[in-house]
């Protein structure tokens, strides 16, 4: 009875996003929903951006590398995505496994924790990081809650806030400086984020109609999925490769 109820709940609760490639097909509905809510491949891209920015520094402070990764995992991976579920103009894209109160608690606790870590390093070591923290704090609400009539809920602002700024944050975390190479690399990663969001939106729309798609639409959906898998894997491998290279050096 329990297994049947769980399968029925999974199908009913996650009609839109539950079958996407980054959502696990095992475990109870609450676990699968939480993992799906984190958008782990895309979160992994942003964490990799912060690592890539960090690796540009001549001297690496490894505690700061860990800190910036944790900050972005809490601030983006959990808080921003919880707010995105709350602010979506579509009706409950992740169903009703988590209540609005639970999503708000996830967002607030994660965001407060992220900023507590950031403030510690801003006060002790890298005051310039405060400028990035202010920008990211604005976008985490303006983008994900679609504030200001959705003016900042656009692909370009997505690329800036979750592509350009994480690279800059990683570099600033190490150096308390801004450099031409960090700005150029940040712009490069922003373009990768732009590709990701441009492919993600039509893929999501097609995926939500998965059972009603024509053959050519299914083929198009699979091409988008390959793009998303390739770009997220490629960025994560790039970040991991640079990390290993600097650790070995």
Average pLDDT, rounded, for the chain: 90
Q: What residue segments make up the domains of the chain, in order of their start?
A: 38-178+186-248
User: pLDDT digits over 34-76, tens only?
Assistant: 999 999 999 999 999 999 999 999 999 999 999 999 999 999 9
* Segment 144-162 mean pLDDT: 95
User: What pLDDT score does 109 carry?
Assistant: 98
Task: Return the pLDDT at 38.
Answer: 94
Higher pLDDT, residue 11 or 98: 98
Q: What digits encode the pLDDT tens for the residues 85-129? A: 998 765 556 767 889 999 999 999 999 999 999 999 999 999 999
Q: How confident is the model at residue 205 (pLDDT cuts 50, 70, 90)?
A: confident
Q: In this predicted structure, what is the pLDDT of residue 16?
A: 58
pLDDT band with cut points at 50, 70 and 90 for residue 137: very high
Half-sphere exposure of 46 (CA within 13 A, CB side): 30
Percent of the chain surpassing pLDDT 70: 91
Cα–Cα distance, 151 to 156 (Å, whole number):
11
Torsion over CA: 94, 99, 102, 108 (sign): positive
Q: How is 6-53 classified by DSSP, letter by letter?
A: HHHHHHHH-TTTTTSTTS-SSS-HHHHHHHHHTTHHHHHHHHHHHHHH
pTM: 0.90
């Amino acid at each position: 009875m329990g297994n049947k109820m769980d399968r029925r709940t999974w199908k009913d609760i996650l009609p839109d996003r539950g079958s996407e490639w980054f959502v696990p097909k095992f475990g109870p509905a609450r676990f699968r929903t939480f993992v799906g809510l984190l958008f782990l491949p895309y979160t992994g891209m942003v964490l990799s951006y912060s690592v890539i920015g960090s690796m540009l520094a001549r001297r690496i402070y490894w505690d700061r590398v860990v800190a910036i990764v944790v900050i972005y995992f809490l601030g983006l991976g959990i808080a921003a995505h919880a707010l995105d579920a709350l602010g979506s103009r579509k009706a409950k894209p992740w169903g009703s496994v988590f209540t609005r109160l639970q999503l708000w608690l996830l967002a607030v606790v994660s965001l407060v924790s992220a900023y507590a870590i950031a403030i510690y390093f801003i006060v002790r070591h890298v005051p310039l990081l405060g400028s990035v923290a202010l920008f990211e704090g604005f976008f985490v609400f303006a983008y994900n809650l679609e504030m200001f009539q959705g003016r900042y809920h656009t692909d370009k602002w997505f690329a800036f806030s979750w592509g350009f700024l994480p690279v800059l944050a990683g570099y600033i975390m190490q150096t308390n400086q801004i450099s031409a190479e960090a700005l150029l690399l940040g712009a490069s990663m922003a373009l990768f984020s732009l590709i990701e969001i441009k492919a993600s939106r039509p893929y999501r729309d097609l995926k939500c109609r998965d059972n009603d798609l024509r053959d050519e639409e299914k083929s198009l959906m699979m091409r988008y999925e390959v793009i998303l898998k390739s770009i997220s894997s490629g960025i994560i491998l790039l970040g991991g490769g640079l990390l290993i290279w600097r650790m070995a050096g």
